[in-house]
Amino acid sequence: SRVLANKITGYHALFTFDDIIGESEKIKEIINLAKLYAPGKESILIEGESGTGKELLAQSIHNYSERRSQPFIALNCANFPNELID
């Protein structure tokens, strides 16, 4: 089944917005914007320094969207060669 395949391959988003810890106005603004855009069909680019929780945010967006039952695939664009990005 798809659920079993997702668990085996790791293509499952585990985190939700409730897992994000932070009380600053900036983090609240980011969460509100993420919730606003999560239901849309557009791609969302998340940028930030290493260790800032980008994948946590991405998984939260995925789990808030209508695609939450579909596989979650995280892409680290830093791993792509420049020629591919161009």
CA 82 to chain CA centroid, Å, is 23
What is the Cα–Cα distance from 4 to 40, expressed in whole angstroms? 27
- pLDDT tens track for 24-73: 999 999 999 999 999 999 989 898 998 899 999 999 999 999 999 998 88
Q: Does 80 or 59 have the greater pLDDT score?
A: 59
Burial tier of 17 (Cβ tally within 10 Å: 0-12, 13-18, 19+) = middle
* In the predicted structure, residue 4 carries a pLDDT above the cut 70: no
Q: Does 81 or 68 have the greater pLDDT score?
A: 68
